[in-house]
Amino acid sequence: MGATGNVGRQVVAQLVAAGVPTRALARDPETTVFPPGVEVAGGDLTAPESLVAAADGIDSVFLVWPFHSTAAAAEVVAALAAQGRRVVYLSSTAVNDAGPQSDLIPLLHAEMEALVTAATTQWAILRADALASNSLSLARQVRAGDVVRGTEVAPSAVVHEGDVAAVAVRLLTEAGHVGRTYLVTGPRVVGRAERVEAIGAALGRSLRFETLPVEVAREMMTAAGLPAPQIESLVSMTELRPRSDLITDTVAAFTGRPARDIREWSVEHVEDFR
C-alpha cells in the first residue's frame, strides 16, 4: 500500500528480484506500470472497503500512509490486519516514544503506529530518517540555475530510499521481526546545504542553497497549490524539528553493507536533475 511512491516502488522491485510473489495496490491498475511479474490490484486508501478484495490471499502488507491526517486510517488498518496479515508500517525516526512529538509529522506517525499495534499482534514498525529522494523536489530549481531556495530542515542522517526498502523486504518476508521497531538511517548527519552540494558535485556544478523565510515559503507553497494540511506539516517541521544525531547500523545488519551516502544517491539520480 503505497507501491507507487519512492520507497514503495523500491520495495516492489526488490521483492520481485528476490523471487517473492508480489501484489501492488494502485488507484488505476490499467495505467500504472510495475516490473514484470507484479500482480496489480485496484484499490484506494481513502476507500477502506476497496482494500478487502485487494488484500485477499496476502500474507504481509507494507503500509505507507501518504496523508496528513489519520481520517479513515483505523478502517484501513483493520482491513489490512484482518486474517492475521503481517503489517509493516513505514514511520519516522522523528517519533519520540517518550512524547510529546516535536511537530505534526511525527505526531501523525505516532498515531498511525498506535493504530497498527492495536489492530494486530503481527506488526513491525520501520522508522526511517529523512529520505534522500525528498531532494527530487529540488530538480526544477537545479535545472533553472545554481541557487536552490527553500526552508532549512534540521540536519539528520538522510537515508537512501533503496536502503529503507531493503530492510522492509526482510521485515515482510522473514520470521523474527514481528512486534519490533527498527530505526533506519544513513551513514552521517547532513543539512540541506550539503544535500544540494552533493547534487551539484554529481552534476559537475557548484550549487548553493539559500534559506527562505518560513512565511515566504508558505506563500510559495500556497501559490503552487499544495493542500493546506501538507503546508502546515512542512512548516511545523521547519519551525520545530530539532537536529538529530541518530545514526544506526540497521542497514548494515540487514544487508551486510554500509548505508549509502547522499553523495552516492546523487550520482545514482544525476539524470533526474539534468
**Residuewise pLDDT in 10s, the chain (274 residues):** 555 688 999 999 999 999 999 999 988 877 788 888 899 999 889 889 899 889 999 999 999 999 999 999 999 999 999 988 999 999 999 999 998 999 999 999 999 999 999 999 999 999 999 999 999 999 999 999 999 999 988 999 999 999 999 999 999 999 999 999 999 999 999 999 999 999 999 999 999 999 999 999 899 899 989 899 899 999 999 999 999 999 999 999 999 999 999 999 999 999 999 9
Backbone angles phi, psi at 117, to 5 degrees: -70, -20
What is the reported pTM?
Answer: 0.94
CATH number of the domain at 72, please: 3.40.50.720
Q: How many CB atoms lie within 10 A of CB 249?
A: 13
Q: Is residue 167 part of a domain?
A: yes
In a domain, 46, yes or no: yes
11 located within any domain: yes
CB 64 within 8 A of CB 8: yes
HEC profile of 197-265: HHHHHHHCCCCEEEECCHHHHHHHHHHCCCCHHHHHHHHHHHHHCCCCCCCCCHHHHHHCCCCCCHHHH
Identify whether 242 is part of a domain.
yes
Residue 116 maps to a domain: yes
Q: What's the domain range around 133?
A: 6-273
Between CA 188 and CA 272 the distance in angstroms is: 23
Say if 1 falls within a structural domain.
Answer: no
Please name the residue ranges forming H helices in the chain. Answer: 6-17, 51-54, 73-81, 104-119, 139-144, 161-173, 192-203, 214-223, 228-240, 250-255, 262-268
What distance in Å separates the CA atoms of residue 237 and residue 156, rounded to the nearest whole number?
13
**How many structural domains compose the chain?**
1
Domain contains 169 = yes
Report if residue 100 sits inside a domain: yes
